[in-house]
Structure 1
Amino acid sequence: MHILPRATTVKGPADQFTADVHYDVLSAGEPPSRVRVNIVRFAPAAHTAWHRHANGQTLHVTEGLGLVQSRGGEVLEIRPGDTIYTPPGEWHWHGAAPGHFMSHMAIWEALSEGQEGPETEWGLHVTNEEYGSGH
């Protein structure tokens, strides 16, 4: 057992996030493990672009008030203690509600040996209409 070095907080890239989003990598899936874990912090109204994960994703909200939506579904409000599972290949977005910060733990798996395609596929930014449909 050993204590891992602390990762530097990274600002989320503008092609994947709207507004100010920062994250810390807790687990990068060092082989043989494939698990990846980030702590993600969203400023009020900041959110991801549409994206999907080859092996699904689990989010666990740790603080604040947020929003999440699967393509074609309704915008759902998420709060501390909520755990959200998105199945493999499902397009979705998540982020902070207007006027609120939100933080969550994001958990997903890297591709398995021989698995094809991107681990995470990023799409278009969420439109103002899509984001605002939950309010």
Structure 2
Amino acid sequence: MERPPPLAAELVNEFVLKAHSDLNRVKELLAREPKLVNACWDWGGGDFETALGAAAHTGRREIAELLLDNGARMDIFAAAMLGHLDVVKAAITADPRAAKAPGPHGIPLLTHAKMGGEKATPVLEYLQSLG
């Protein structure tokens, strides 16, 4: 089976960067290249980030929801920011180490829950109860 060519690095970089704050540009880039939805940027030193990861640690719910609506893979960090307590609990129950695993840029899960604001309060309280 022949593999498709990789996405242009400049495009992936811009997409991940814009997912930190620019909903309109994320929409434009996603319309241009739908396969960007799960693309990952290597910041170096093992620091990999997807657009969903960027939206999650900056509390950009509308960007995260757009990405998920377009096929992004949910992860525990996005689930924490979005307030999906059931997903976070299930992941930590399955593997307690998930509570301490670092997200993109080494940002902790607890910080992602804080960035989710009021809708993520149950997740934040749950994570704080773990110590």
What TM-score, normalized by structure 2, do the two folds share?
0.33
Q: Which has the higher strand share?
A: 1
What is the TM-score with the length of structure 1 in the denominator? 0.32
Choose between structure 1 and 2: higher helix proportion: 2
* Larger RCO (CA under 8 A, 6+ residues apart): 1
